[in-house]
């Protein structure tokens, strides 16, 4: 097995000025500093040799040394907004092993916010169980429901209960995906475009990224469009069809742009360009969310052989999509060079689980 990728324990000092703020100096949108400046963009030699195409990794697994992944970028803006609005409590939602809920628990606690999460069932796996334990370890209060359809009512009831108790709750949508959360990936899009220039990377054929609740794709599309970098985004669907479609993505794209434009009217209104930049890959979802296909497992195996740890729910399917583009191509054209955005935290989970209670029976129904 190859050496694992460089770990996320490098010292991180949160960057003071974002690319957004430096390019549009009038921008004044709330943010807490979590992401320590640019995450690396690296050509992966082993995967390049193994696949015959240039594989570059955008290392968003390294967004934070305690817990990395894509959610950290969104939470910079969402927690910033919550604190600016005077909130003391966060309510959010996700599946039993949700990386978004775990990240919210970690960084909400770090900023003195209580975190409540309405959780829906997910196919059981060791990874999901560890995430759930880590949520408990971080002190999140977990409220299980049986179906996704029950989430709005459960959230409304929790909101009312917390307000009656004198709390000031702020609701973050599933996956942290709305116009505010997407701002974190607008920054990532600008960052990626700048790195490609600085590193003199020849233009890739595609940027491959997971499509879950959509904030990552929506923000990335806006950031790349704002930078004038019109590389197609290949968005690999990993959550059920129907939950997140083009209309929802457009709402997030517009939401992010409206916030930026309202704060600095020189930020361009580019929702059309951003929407044209991505395409949705429907071919890796298989039987559904959290259920790996043979191609997912093959991608995970190849990743492991080259020190790239992938999960079965998001990144395994996404990387499988990248491999398919190399082998079979897109619209008859095999891809020769791509950037895979690695959105899964590579920080060790153990420290987050230390002292965590075992999973109480009332949460049993979350692991199907
Ligand atoms: C590891 C990982 N990658 C990708 C995604 C998808 O990102 P988004 O929800 O912004 O579409 C998620 C969402 O939970 C995730 O946990």
Structure tokens at 260: 């930026």
Q: What is the pLDDT of residue 14?
A: 54
pLDDT the model gives residue 108: 98
Domain-embedded: residue 233: yes
Q: How far apart are CA 296 and CA 310, in angstroms?
A: 9
The domain total for the chain is 2
For the chain, which ranges sit under pLDDT 70? Answer: 1-15
Whether the Cβ atoms of residue 279 and residue 234 lie closer than 8 Å to each other: yes
Tell me which of 158, 175, 192 is where a domain ends. Answer: 175
Q: What is the pLDDT of residue 8?
A: 38
The pTM (predicted TM-score) of the whole model is 0.95
Residue 230 and residue 277 in contact, taking contact as beta carbons nearer than 8 Å: yes
The model's pLDDT over 198-222, given as tens digits with 9 standing for 90+, comes to: 999 999 999 999 999 999 999 999 9
CA dist., res. 240 & res. 279, Å (int): 16
Look up residue 360 and give its two tokens.
């109480």
pLDDT the model gives residue 5: 52
DSSP 8-state secondary structure symbol assigned to residue 122: B
Residues facing 169 on adjacent strands: 89
User: What is the distance between the alpha carbons of residues 347 and 164, in angstroms, rounded to a whole number?
Assistant: 38
45 and 184 belong to one structural domain = yes
Q: Which of 247, 221, 226 is nearest to 341 (CA)?
A: 221
Ligand 1 midpoint to CA 238 (Å): 9
The pLDDT value recorded for residue 36 is: 81
Which one of 115, 147, 175 terminates a domain?
Answer: 175
249 with 171, same domain: the answer is: no
CA 184 – ligand 1 centroid, Å:
13
pLDDT confidence of residue 203: 97
Q: What CATH number corresponds to the domain at position 316? A: 3.40.50.1100
**Residue-level pLDDT at 348:** 93
| Collapsed DSSP state (helix, strand, coil) of residue 237 | strand
In this prediction, residue 152 carries a pLDDT of 96
pLDDT of 37: 80
From 103, 188, 213, the mutation candidate for ligand 1 (largest count of ligand atoms within 8 A of CB) is 213
Ligand 1 binding pocket, CB closer than 6 Å: 69-70, 99-100, 175, 177, 210-217, 314-315, 343-344
**Predicted local confidence at residue 242, as pLDDT:** 84
Q: Cβ distance 246 to 277 under 8 Å?
A: no
Q: Nearest C-alpha to atom 7 of ligand 1 is from which residue?
A: 212
Q: For residue 122, how far is its CA from the centre of ligand 1 (angstroms)?
A: 15
Pair type for strands 41-43 and 54-58:
antiparallel
59, 63, 71: which to mutate for ligand 1, most atoms within 8 A of CB?
Answer: 71
């Amino acid at each position: 097995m190859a050496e694992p990728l460089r770990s996320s324990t490098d010292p991180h000092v949160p960057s003071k000025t974002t690319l957004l703020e430096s390019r549009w100096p009038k921008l004044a949108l709330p943010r807490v500093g979590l992401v320590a400046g640019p995450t690396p963009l690296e050509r992966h030699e082993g995967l390049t040799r193994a696949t015959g195409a240039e594989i570059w990794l955008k290392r968003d697994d390294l967004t934070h040394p305690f817990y990395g992944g894509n959610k950290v970028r969104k939470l910079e803006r969402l927690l910033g907004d919550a604190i600016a609005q005077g909130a003391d409590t966060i309510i959010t939602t996700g599946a039993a092993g949700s990386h978004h809920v775990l990240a919210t628990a970690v960084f909400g606690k770090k900023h003195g916010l209580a975190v409540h999460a309405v959780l829906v069932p997910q196919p059981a796996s060791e990874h999901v169980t560890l995430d759930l334990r880590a949520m408990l370890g971080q002190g999140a209060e977990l409220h299980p429901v049986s179906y996704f359809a029950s989430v709005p009512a459960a959230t409304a009831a929790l909101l009312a209960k917390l307000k009656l108790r004198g709390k000031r709750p702020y609701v973050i949508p599933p996956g942290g995906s709305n116009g505010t959360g997407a701002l974190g990936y607008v920054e990532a899009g600008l960052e990626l475009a700048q790195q490609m220039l600085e590193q003199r990377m020849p233009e890739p054929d595609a940027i491959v990224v997971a499509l879950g609740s959509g904030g990552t794709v929506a923000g990335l599309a806006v950031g790349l469009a704002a930078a004038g970098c019109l590389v197609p985004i290949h968005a690999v669907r990993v959550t059920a069809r129907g939950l997140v479609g083009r209309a929802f993505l457009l709402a997030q794209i517009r939401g992010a742009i409206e916030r930026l434009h309202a704060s600095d009217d020189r930020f361009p209104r580019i929702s059309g360009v951003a929407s044209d930049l991505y395409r949705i890959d429907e071919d890796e979802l298989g039987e559904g969310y959290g259920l790996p296909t043979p191609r997912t497992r093959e991608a995970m195996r190849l990743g492991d052989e080259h020190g790239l740890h992938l999960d079965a729910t998001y990144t395994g399917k996404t990387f499988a999509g990248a491999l398919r583009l190399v082998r079979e191509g897109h619209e008859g054209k095999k891809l020769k060079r791509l950037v895979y955005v690695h959105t899964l935290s590579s920080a060790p989970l153990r420290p987050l689980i230390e002292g965590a209670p075992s999973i109480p029976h009332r949460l049993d129904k979350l692991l199907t």
